[in-house]
Structure 1
Amino acid sequence: MNRRRPNPLVSRLVEVRSRSDHSTIEEELRSLILSGGAPPGTTIPPGEVADAYRVSPIPVREALKTLVGEGLVVHQRNSGYRVSQLSTEELKEIYFVRGVLEQAALAQSVERVTDADIAAARGCHEQLLTATKWGDGKSFHDISRQFHAHLTDPCGMPRLLSMFESTWNLTEPFQVMRSVSASTQTLLNADHEAMLVAFADRDTAAVLQVARVHHSRLEAAILETADRREIGPD
């Protein structure tokens, strides 16, 4: 008798589960989606997840309900649960909202940022240059978020940062920065350098100007990656 092949997402969850006994189903599902380990459109079978964790379907469905509320998962009566899949236009809209929130955070951070914060961001910038040099798209993607966090977190506004994080999470499953060209990465790195200079000078106007230019490049990056793969139905 042929055995049914396990769902790829469930197989990855089992692998992650074997490394930690402390994370919850919700945390591990969220982490897998945000890391790109479960690409947009991936099906999430609650029964198989429950079997893998040796629990009833109830905690799995509760976890999925939370992730639906965060926008990371969608539920349709006839097709079950899937990792959210957005059209190019929807993704551009989320990036727009994310950019507005980031500019608000950056404006508040300029006067509060410490030399240590700037040094940490510069450390990320150096790693991004290395990632571009060696064509390491995954590192470029992951470290980009760390760079921006070092410059937005000092704003000291938890509600704003929570909204900013939520919009960033919505874009994470698409792993856009992993797919952009080296030339685009070079332009983004130049923006980062200009932002660091503006922060060091405590120049709010310059910081926001660079942030606007940077955001326009991110929108172009979305279109660039959309040309290489299908992001979702329009």
Structure 2
Amino acid sequence: MRRRSPFASRLVRTGDASGTPALESDLRDAILTGDQQPGTPIPIDEVAAFFGVSPIPVREALKTLLAEGLVEHRPHIGYSVAKLTFGEFRELYDVRQALESAALRAAAGAADAGHVQEVRAVHAQLGVAIERGDDRAYDAAARRFHLALIAASGMQRLVKMYESAWNITEPARPMSRVPDHDRAALHADHERMVAAFVARDAATLIAESDGHYARLRTAIGRFADDPECFADHA
């Protein structure tokens, strides 16, 4: 019996009560959770068989994910999980920093008690993930933390752009490659960001965010030549 491909073997089907598969959502989740390494081929026929559909809706879903930057397509070869060069990865961090800085300025002045409670709660989840050495939980909590900070801005279009930029870097699972001492320093940045957010101190919040991104660039630079993570520069 033929073994399923690495991509198909890690798929999870959700769907609604009628049994209709949530094809696009499930494929996106499979990539964003880091279960599918960058460059992993996506066999359309196997994916279609897993979801019990024809190849046509699979191709349509993959076209959407292609537009989102989560997959790539090569003529006569097919679809695969997107694999960025390190330069492209760094560029997306620059985009995230610029968007986050703009949102934080507004968020610091607009945050209410509910926003503060959410930021503190997610920051606590980050601490628990670090204590447990749970890379996946840390990845998920870090994403929620930064989104919670900028959500208070009320800038919904900006938040969507920010989330999209974050999504494209997610398959590489960068935080799973960061050593413990760098992770601890990044978490200390988060703690200072929480303090500035609670104090509604926009200038300090943005300065801490900028310092955080500088530290992130140094941390990910340590594995810039990892072929499992990044595509060749050529």
Question: Structure 1 length normalisation: TM-score?
Answer: 0.92
Cα distance, 1:158 vs structure 2 = 1.3
Residue aligned with 2:2, SS: coil
SS in 2 for 1:226: coil
Which residue of 1 is the match for residue 218 of structure 2?
220
Q: CA deviation at 1:115?
A: 2.1
Structure 2 Cα separation of the partners of residues 26 and 229 of structure 1: 28
Does structure 2 conserve the Cα–Cα contact (< 8 Å) formed by 1:176 and 1:221? no
Which residue in 1 is equivalent to 2:13? 17
Q: Quote the residue 2:193 is aligned against.
A: 195
1:146-225 equivalences in 2 (<5 Å): 146-225=144-223
Shift of 1:147: 0.9
Deviation at 1:26, TM superposition (A): 0.7
2-structure distance, mates of 1:102, 1:115? 20
Shift of 1:85: 0.3
CA deviation after TM superposition for structure 1 residue 8, in Å: 1.8
Q: CA deviation at 1:191?
A: 0.8
Question: Which deviations, in whole Å up to 9, do the C-alpha atoms of 1:24-80 show, x marking residues without a partner?
Answer: 111100000000011110100111111222211110100001000001010001220
Cα RMSD (Å) of the superposition? 1.7
User: Residues 206-228 of structure 1, C-alpha deviation per residue, up to 9 Å, x if partnerless?
Assistant: 11100100011111121134366
C-alpha contact 1:101 1:164 (8 A) present in aligned 2: yes
Helix, strand or coil: the match of 1:82?
strand
Provide the rounded CA distance (Å) in 2 between the counterparts of 1:86 and 1:168.
Answer: 13
Instruction: Answer with 145-154 or 121-130: which moved more.
Output: 121-130
Letter in 2 for 1:163: M
In the aligned structure 1, how far is the partner of 2:148 from the partner of 2:162? 13
Other-structure match for 2:45: 47
- Partners of 2:15 and 2:151 lie apart in 1 by 30
Secondary structure, counterpart of 1:150 in structure 2: helix
CA distance in 2, matches of 1:192, 1:82: 34
Aligned-partner residue type, residue 132 of structure 1: I
Q: Tell me which of 38, 49, 54 is aligned to 1:56.
A: 54
* Gap change, CA 1:151 and 1:23, over 3 Å in 2: farther
- CA contact 1:72–1:170 (8 Å) conserved in 2: yes
Using the size of structure 2 for normalisation, the TM-score is 0.92
- On the 8 A contact 2:15/2:22 being kept in 1, the answer is no
User: CA shift at 1:10, angstroms?
Assistant: 1.1
Structure 1 unmatched ranges of 5 or more: none
> 5+ unaligned residues in a row in structure 2: which ranges?
none
Size of the alignment, in residue pairs? 230
1:229 offset after TM fit, Å? 5.7
Could you list the per-position Cα deviations for residues 142-184 of structure 1 after superposition, in whole angstroms to 9, with x for gaps in the alignment?
A: 1111111111111111111111111010011111112211111
* Post-superposition CA distance 1:110-144 (Å, at most 9, x none): 11111221222112222222222232222111111
Q: How much does 1:22 deviate?
A: 5.2
Q: Is the 8 A contact 2:38 2:228 kept in 1?
A: no
C-alpha distance in 1, partners of 2:51/2:121? 39
Contact 1:88 1:222 in 2 (8 A): no
**8 Å CA contact retained: 2:37, 2:228:** no
Structure-2 separation of matches of 1:156 and 1:56? 41
Question: 2: distance between equivalents of 1:197 and 1:87?
Answer: 35
Counterpart-to-counterpart distance in 2, 1:228 and 1:42: 15
Q: Measure the CA separation in 2 of the matches of 1:225 and 1:139.
A: 21
